[in-house]
């Protein structure tokens, strides 16, 4: 008997007391999915929670995004940045005009190349206020996963209409992408560890600095 | 059980106008056997409990742990033994079984029982009172109403004292480590008395406190609530 | 092969650890460890309490999580077949393993086929359970742990002592010492003059591991969840070492217990709210990765999942113990447990310590070993774990149930002294007249002793108790006698 058959046979024997074949009827789940939180000011909550992770949040209007990116790169001391495909051209041009070394991911940058680039600038898919989480679905303007991992500073532009109150609403927005097999990455603050005496230390392997530009 | 506790319980309930009976057939909830894994050996206590108390309106026990065992384990033991009749009877009797402070606050509707106890006291909410029987803050409501009492908060009060029935015999070193920490917290309050709703925990912590010559006495909550200006029920 | 030099630091064996009471005694003697544990558990359980209290419908979430997990457990064959199909369609190669050895063999064969001599690993409980690293070491493959605490444990020739923070028993100065002496032997050494500041220690780990990440061709992970509907794997982590492993190498093998399934994508909302708050006491952990098969041009192009039983079906087969499989390995039960706080994790004799270890271990492995028969008794039944568990595992009920199984196991072989005592107590307590008889004997003892308190005495079973505690002498008048005298007419 294959391991597959053996394990499935063991499971069926172990659950022979279960007589209702429909899982949903057998164990109803008392939960309403996708509910929003009753948050008075979702954007303010988002800012507060993201800042609580010691990340930086700046709020600008649409026209000011390009300059805000340039300012962030300067503030973070970045000498080079990678710009993924699909960033709005106005932002891209502003960054290029600022004179910083700009890298593109085509041809695909090697791990070693990415490792020495100071920063990455991306858009996002969803912001979740209650937990201060940003979800990337690695679509246009977000790059493949390694782009937001190896450079040490991540500047992430989130549109206010992408921000929802909480995780359940966030999952609801991300579900179609997950169902079409997009990889998804959630970022809540910079990389951190609490492995040493349960003290939170920002910065282990992922980008140590997260800088969020919230577009009102 | 240390006799002063049921004696205080009887006097307190009578003072509040209850008619108290003591069916001599009664013994013990059987928890020590159940919690050590000896279900068959515990079953006679379930039967005896039902036989002893079936005819009473309210069964009151001055122990959160024993009452918890009656309410949470008796029916399970009868069920396991395949005794449907006993299971039903045990469930019914358990439904009328109250921990002393629950009975005072919920059934009699009193928090000021007219007690007088002019001492510095700290309260340990025993695990089973708190998490199984779920007496909540009823003991504190009652203690706060005691005249003359100086009630001080116990640091890390909600942590177990390390008794755990046969745990203290099977894992004596861990038990002593836990009881010693509890005793340290009690001493830090400068209380004269440590009060709780379970004698076993008091015996455990009190054993350490006495060995350390701390001068801190242990006392059951029934004993404080039974004390009045006229009659001090402290041994 | 035994003469070959080892590729990775040699860990001690779990098998050398005696049953809990004896192991606990040894652990209690470690003063620095006790201090470290007290500080760390107090810190993290306080954080958990704050973060749980922030959520208005926390209890509703716990109930939903328990229900979802029960639904999965009771229909596990259905969900596993669904998950297998979805994963296969998404380009994942799915393997099944009856036990740890089989899982280790599968992973080893994949590594051999890829021609790699080293792998990077994300912290995974299940590969600790199967002792995968030692299997890989034996076949000439170096497995590098990349979680900071796992790195501390691995470089320290140590065993993990906590589910979430495996080096919880260590403090910063011990960790500095381990990094300074060991890092250079296995790669980039610790920087000169490394201090014991947590930020500096974390930076040293970053540098040491970055080299390994950049060259790694194969990674091994566990998995927090597999969504049956889509075949999506989810990993929850903090440091980004997980993202490194999940993103950079060409090959990724995820070994996942069969109970880790969730039915739908939407079910994630319940667990992603509960897990971080229960686990690290954060609103959300820094990184969550979701992947659904192979994404061309992004991440590993060769994905494997090994679905592992290794005793889980034993747990499933006992309707009273089954709720154990709800566990999402958050470790809230460890942090709140007063026994764990004093003893630490090693005394539990497996990578699963604390209350969850005390109920999971004996069910996964059975009761044939003395250490597994001791585990259900490694608790005072204080019930603190019941209250913090995000999936509402009824720990104390299951502990008592397992004690019953242990008692049955022992007495099925031959009558025991303990059984005799319990039988005796059962007889005494079966009727008030029996109890009165027994009390007469104790009253006689009370009259004999006369003193109010008793000190150290060589009384069987109670001897150790009396080494540390005094006891009051038995009363000279029982309540029964008092009642007869004072209320007897009633």
In-domain check, residue A26: no
Secondary structure element (H or E) that encloses residue A77, with its range: none
Sort out which chain C residues have CB atoms less than 8 A from B27's CB and list them. 428-432, 434-435
pLDDT of residue B235: 47
Tell me the angle at which helices C432-449 and C417-428 cross, rounded to the nearest 10 degrees.
Answer: 110
Beta carbons of A204 and C205 less than 8 Å apart:
yes
The answer to whether residue C319 sits within a structural domain is no
Residue C286 counted as domain residue: yes
Identify the segments of chain A with pLDDT beneath 50.
none
Q: Is residue C4 part of a domain?
A: no
User: Mapping DSSP to helix (H, G, I), strand (E, B) and coil, where does residue B152 land?
Assistant: strand
Instruction: Please check whether residue C19 lies inside any domain of the structure.
Output: yes
Q: Before C66, cis peptide (omega within 30)?
A: no
CA distance C179 to C170: 13
Total number of domains constituting chain C: 2
Read off the CATH number of the domain in which A163 is found: 3.40.50.10420
Q: Specify the pLDDT at position C473.
A: 83
In chain A, how many domains are there?
Answer: 1
For chain C, 490 residues long, give each residue's pLDDT as a single digit of tens: 456 789 999 999 999 899 999 999 999 999 999 999 999 999 999 999 999 999 999 999 999 999 999 999 999 999 999 999 999 999 999 999 999 999 999 999 999 999 999 999 999 999 999 999 999 999 999 999 999 999 999 999 999 999 999 999 999 999 999 999 999 999 999 999 999 999 999 999 999 999 999 999 999 999 999 999 999 999 999 999 999 999 999 999 999 999 999 999 999 999 999 999 999 999 999 999 999 999 999 999 999 999 999 999 999 999 999 999 999 999 999 999 999 999 999 999 999 999 999 999 999 999 999 999 999 999 999 999 999 999 999 999 999 999 999 999 998 888 888 888 888 888 888 888 888 888 777 777 666 665 567 777 666 667 787 888 888 888 888 899 999 999 886 5
Q: For residue C435, give the H/E element and its range.
A: helix C432-449
Cβ atoms within 10 Å of C229's Cβ, excluding its own:
19
In a domain, residue C405? The reply is no
CA distance B103 to B123: 19
Query: In a 3-state reduction of DSSP, which class is residue B188?
Result: helix
In which domain, by residue range, is C272 found? 14-313
- Measured CA angle at B223 (ends B217, B228), to 5 deg: 110
Element (H, E) at C108: helix C100-114
Domain with A193 in it: 40-215
C305 in the same domain as C426: no
Give me the numbers of helices (H) and strands (E) for chain B, helices first please: 12, 6
Torsion of CA C338, C341, C347, C349, to 10 degrees: 90
Which residues neighbour A180 within 8 Å (Cβ) at sequence distance 6 or greater?
none
Give pLDDT, residue B213.
Answer: 94
Residue C478 belongs to some domain of the structure: yes
- Angle at the Cα of C276 from the Cα atoms of C272 and C282, rounded to 5 degrees: 130
Pick from C20, C381, C479: CB nearest B7? C479
Q: Which of residues 32-51 of C touch A (CB under 8 A)?
A: 36, 39-40, 43-44
Q: pLDDT > 70: what percent of chain B? A: 98
pLDDT tens per residue across span A30-58: 999 999 999 999 999 999 999 999 999 99
* Count of CA atoms in the C-beta half-sphere (13 A) of B164: 33
Which helix (H) or strand (E) segment holds residue A3: the answer is helix A3-14
Residue B167 has a CB neighbour count (10 Å cut-off) of 23
Residues of B in contact with C376 (CB under 8 A): 37
- Residue B232's CB is within 10 A of a number of other CB atoms, namely 13
Between residues 181 and 240 of chain C, which touch chain B (CB distance below 8 Å)? none
Residue C285 placed within a domain: yes
Phi, psi of C222 (to 5 degrees): -100, -140
Do C159 and C295 belong to one domain?
Answer: yes
Residue A27 maps to a domain = no
Q: What is the CATH number of the domain that holds C303?
A: 3.40.50.10420
Q: In what order do the strands lie in the sheet with A56-60?
A: A56-60, A209-215, A153-159, A119-123, A80-82, A101-103
Alpha-carbon span C27 to C168, nearest angstrom: 14
pLDDT digits 0-9 by tens, C171-214: 999 999 999 999 999 999 999 999 999 999 999 999 999 999 99
CA distance B113 to chain C (A): 22
**DSSP bridge pairs for A127:** A134, A163
Domain boundary among C284, C313, C342: C313
Nearest CA in chain B to C380: B164
Nearest-angstrom CA–CA distance, C294 and C73: 28
Q: How far is CA C263 from the centre of its chain?
A: 24
Ramachandran angles phi, psi of B125, nearest 5°: -80, 100
Assess if residue C362 is contained within a domain. no
What pTM value is reported for the model? 0.95
Query: Is there contact between A and B if contact means ≥3 C-beta pairs under 8 Å?
Result: no
Rounded Cα–Cα distance for residues A102 and A123 (Å): 17
Distance from CA of B10 to the nearest CA of C (A): 9
Segments of chain A assigned E as strands: 56-60, 80-82, 101-103, 119-123, 126-128, 133-136, 153-159, 163-164, 184-187, 192-193, 201-202, 209-215
Length of chain C in terms of residues written: 490
Helices (H) and strands (E) in chain A, counts: 7, 12
Instruction: For B83-124, write each residue's pLDDT tens digit.
Output: 999 999 999 999 999 999 999 999 999 999 999 999 999 999
Residue B222: pLDDT band by 50, 70, 90 thresholds?
Answer: very high
């Amino acid at each position: 008997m294959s391991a597959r058959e053996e394990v499935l046979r063991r499971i069926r024997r172990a659950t022979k007391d279960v007589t209702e074949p429909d899982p949903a009827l057998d164990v109803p789940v008392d939960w309403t999915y996708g509910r929003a939180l009753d948050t008075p000011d979702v954007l303010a909550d988002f800012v507060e929670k993201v800042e609580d992770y010691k990340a930086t949040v700046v709020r600008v209007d649409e026209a000011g995004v390009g300059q805000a990116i340039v300012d962030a790169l300067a503030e973070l001391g970045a000498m080079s940045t990678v710009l993924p495909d699909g960033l709005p051209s106005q932002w891209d041009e502003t960054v290029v005009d600022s004179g910083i070394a700009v890298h593109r991911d085509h041809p695909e940058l090697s791990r070693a190349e990415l490792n020495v680039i100071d920063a990455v600038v991306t858009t996002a898919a969803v912001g979740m206020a209650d937990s201060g989480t940003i979800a990337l679905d690695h679509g246009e303007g977000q790059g493949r996963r390694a782009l937001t991992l190896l450079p040490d500073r991540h500047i992430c532009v989130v549109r206010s209409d992408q921000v929802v109150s909480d995780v359940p609403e966030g999952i609801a927005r991300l579900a179609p992408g997950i169902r079409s097999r997009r990889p998804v990455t959630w970022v809540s603050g910079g990389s951190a560890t609490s492995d040493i005496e349960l003290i939170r230390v920002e910065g282990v392997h992922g980008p140590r600095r997260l800088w969020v530009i919230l577009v009102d | 059980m240390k006799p002063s506790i049921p004696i205080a319980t009887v006097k307190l309930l009578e003072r509040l106008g209850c008619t108290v009976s003591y069916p001599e057939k009664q013994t013990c909830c059987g928890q020590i056997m159940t919690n050590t894994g000896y279900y068959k050996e515990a079953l006679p206590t379930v039967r005896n409990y039902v036989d002893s108390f079936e005819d009473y309106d309210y069964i009151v026990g001055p122990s959160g742990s024993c009452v918890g065992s009656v309410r949470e384990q008796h029916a399970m033991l009868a069920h396991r033994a395949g005794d449907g009749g006993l299971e039903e009877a045990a469930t019914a009797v358990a439904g009328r079984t109250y921990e002393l402070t629950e009975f005072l606050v919920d059934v009699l509707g009193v928090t000021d029982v007219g007690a007088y106890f002019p001492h510095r006291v700290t309260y340990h909410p025993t695990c089973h009172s708190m998490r199984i029987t779920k007496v909540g803050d009823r003991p504190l409501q009652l203690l706060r109403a005691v005249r003359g009492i100086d009630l001080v908060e116990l640091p890390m009060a909600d942590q177990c004292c390390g008794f755990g029935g046969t745990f203290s015999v099977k894992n004596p070193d861990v038990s002593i480590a836990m009881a010693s920490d509890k005793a340290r917290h009690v001493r830090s309050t400068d209380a004269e008395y440590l009060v709780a709703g379970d004698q076993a925990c008091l015996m455990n912590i009190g054993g350490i406190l006495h060995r350390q010559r701390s001068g801190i006495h242990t006392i059951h909550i029934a004993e404080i609530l039974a004390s009045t200006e006229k009659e001090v029920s402290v041994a | 092969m035994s003469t070959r030099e080892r590729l990775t630091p040699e860990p001690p064996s779990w098998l050398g650890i005696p049953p809990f009471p004896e192991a606990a005694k040894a652990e209690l003697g470690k003063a620095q460890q006790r201090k470290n544990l007290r500080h760390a558990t107090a810190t993290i359980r306080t954080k958990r309490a704050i973060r749980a209290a922030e959520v208005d419908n926390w209890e509703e979430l716990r109930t939903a999580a328990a229900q979802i997990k029960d639904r999965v457990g009771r229909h596990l064959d259905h969900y596993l077949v669904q998950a297998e199909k979805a994963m296969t369609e998404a380009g994942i190669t799915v393997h099944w393993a009856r036990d740890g050895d089989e899982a280790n063999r599968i992973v080893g064969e994949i590594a051999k086929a890829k021609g790699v001599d080293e792998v990077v690993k994300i912290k995974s409980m299940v590969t600790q359970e199967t002792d995968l690293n030692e299997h890989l070491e034996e076949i000439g493959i170096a497995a590098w742990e990349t979680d900071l605490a796992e790195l501390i444990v691995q470089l320290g020739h140590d065993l993990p002592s906590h589910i979430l923070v495996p080096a919880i028993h260590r403090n910063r100065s011990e960790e500095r010492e381990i990094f300074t002496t060991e890092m250079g032997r296995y790669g980039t050494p610790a920087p000169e003059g490394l201090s014991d500041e947590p930020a500096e220690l974390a930076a040293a780990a970053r540098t040491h591991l970055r080299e390994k990440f950049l060259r790694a061709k194969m990674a091994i992970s566990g998995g927090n969840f597999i969504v049956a509907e889509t075949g999506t794997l989810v990993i929850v982590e903090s440091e980004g070492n997980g993202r490194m492993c999940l993103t950079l190498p060409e090959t990724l093998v995820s070994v996942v217990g069969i109970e880790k399934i969730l039915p739908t994508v939407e079910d994630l909302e319940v667990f992603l709210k509960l897990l971080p708050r229960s686990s690290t006491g954060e609103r959300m952990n820094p990184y969550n990765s979701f992947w659904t098969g192979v994404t061309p041009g992004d991440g590993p192009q060769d994905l494997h999942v090994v679905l592992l039983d290794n005793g889980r079906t034993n747990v499933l087969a006992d309707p009273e113990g089954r709720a154990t499989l709800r566990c999402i390995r958050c470790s809230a039960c460890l942090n709140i447990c007063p026994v764990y706080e004093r003893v630490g994790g090693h005394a539990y004799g497996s990578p699963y310590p604390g209350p969850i270890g005390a109920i999971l271990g004996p069910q996964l492995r059975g009761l044939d070993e003395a250490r597994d028969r001791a585990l259900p008794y490694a608790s005072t039944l204080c019930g603190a774990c019941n209250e913090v568990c995000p999936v509402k595992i009824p720990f104390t009920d299951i502990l008592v149930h397992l004690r019953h199984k242990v008692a049955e196991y022992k007495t099925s072989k031959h009558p025991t002294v303990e059984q005799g005592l319990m039988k005796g107590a059962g007889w005494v307590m079966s009727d008030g007249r029996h109890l009165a008889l027994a009390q007469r004997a104790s009253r006689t003892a009370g009259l004999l002793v006369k003193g109010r308190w008793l000190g150290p005495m060589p009384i069987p079973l109670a001897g150790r108790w009396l080494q540390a505690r005094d006891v009051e002498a038995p009363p000279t008048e029982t309540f029964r006698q008092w009642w007869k005298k004072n209320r007897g007419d009633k």
